[in-house]
Amino acid sequence: MEPPVLDLKHVRKVYKGKVEALQGIALQVPPGSVFGLLGPNGAGKSTLVKILTTIIRATECEGEMLGQPIGHKPSLQKVGYLPEHARFPDYLTGRQVVEYSAGMAGFTVRQASSRVEALLELVGMRDWAQRKVRTYSKGMKQRVGIAQALVNDPKLLFLDEPTDGVDPEGRREIREIVKRMREEGCTVFINTHLLSELEQVADRVAILAKGALVREGDLEELTKSKEEYEIVLASPLSDELVYKLETLSAVVANGHILFKGGDPKQLQPVIDFLRHHEVVIQSIQRNRLSLEELFLEVVEQSRNEEPT
Ligand SMILES: Nc1ncnc2c1ncn2[C@@H]1O[C@H](COP(=O)(O)OP(=O)(O)OP(=O)(O)O)[C@@H](O)[C@H]1O
Ligand SMILES: [Mg+2]
């Protein structure tokens, strides 16, 4: 197996004024994946990304990025970064913003030219590239921001709140760009509190709350343990049937039967039982805990576990 793109053992940050923004983070990001770092405002998401891109210094830092210790400047040539609330001079055109980044990345004007065009195309901004940033919507600005983050053809791309303030259409476009980057072998690390966005694109997620990782894992696995079947009946059940169903570990509420777990085999006795008693089933649906619910649950848990 290929080594992780990011292998953090211990990252701690105490800001002046003694705010402990990161309490000693350890996490791994596999290559070619989309990794989502979730957390409420102030959790420490941006702090972590700023440390990894050497914008700020960690208080303690042990770990590797692209096979090199964190802070190793040459490996940043293979890293792209869209900071949160990124702003570009609004008198520049979209093309000029990307050209400027290409220049900073060391491309000559000639080399930059085809690269810039390809990137504007990738983010769907070619038709708007001659217009000034001041005429752009929030979604367009973010797309130009992603294009400038990609000038150096990064192996690892950090997007800090890429869809913040972007409308649904723009969010979908950004998701499509992220998927395309993954197809090209780029690892994408996204900071967000917009859980529904991540749900559709992330392979792995970690949840950060008050500077500590409270959960990490494969998105499927994290939400699988929380599956349930919901059976809707055409008419209410008799008390006797309710009682018997409860012995089959089903929960009956308001004409709905809830059955914990996502294993269809275990559901069959419940269906057999209902059909045997000629109960009419209107629908059966498998519900999975959404990332939003998972997020609220773990953040709540971590709050409850805090010493008082
Ligand atoms: N320069 C700074 N000086 C002091 N404290 C800071 C500084 N930057 C951030 N903090 C504090 O560190 C904590 C983590 O902030 P950070 O910006 O990393 O969170 P975040 O998860 O990115 O939040 P958001 O979702 O609002 O972007 C917060 O308590 C914040 O107030
Ligand atoms: Mg932030």
Query: What does the alpha-carbon distance between residue 37 and residue 195 come to, in Å, rounded to a whole number?
Result: 10
With a cut of 90, say whether residue 281 has pLDDT above it.
yes
Residue 272: pLDDT band with limits 50, 70, 90: very high
Number of the ligand 1 atom closest to the C-alpha atom of 19? 5
CA 72 to chain centre: 26
Ligand 1 binding pocket, CB closer than 6 Å: 15, 17, 19, 21, 39, 41-47, 84, 193
Residue 11: pLDDT band with limits 50, 70, 90: very high
Global confidence as pTM: 0.82
Asked whether this chain's domains 6-223 and 227-287 adopt the same fold, the reply is no
With a cut of 60, say whether residue 34 has pLDDT above it.
yes
pLDDT tens profile 188-233: 999 988 777 788 899 999 999 889 998 888 877 777 667 889 999 9
With a cut of 90, say whether residue 54 has pLDDT above it.
yes
Q: Which residues surround ligand 2, an ion (CB under 5 A)?
A: 45-46, 84
Q: Which CATH architecture has domain 6-223?
A: 3-Layer(aba) Sandwich (3.40)
With a cut of 70, say whether residue 291 has pLDDT above it.
no
**Is domain 227-287 classified as CATH 3.30.470.20?**
no
The residue whose CA is least distant from atom 25 of ligand 1 is 41
Residue 30: pLDDT band with limits 50, 70, 90: very high
Query: What does the alpha-carbon distance between residue 220 and residue 205 come to, in Å, rounded to a whole number?
Result: 10
Identify the bridge partners of residue 23 per DSSP, sorted by sequence position.
Answer: 12
* The predicted structure's pLDDT at residue 301: 77
Query: What does the alpha-carbon distance between residue 157 and residue 149 come to, in Å, rounded to a whole number?
Result: 7
Of the given ranges (19-33, 48-62, 256-270), which has the lowest mean pLDDT?
A: 256-270
Query: What does the alpha-carbon distance between residue 155 and residue 294 come to, in Å, rounded to a whole number?
Result: 30
Which residue ranges make up each domain of the chain? 6-223, 227-287
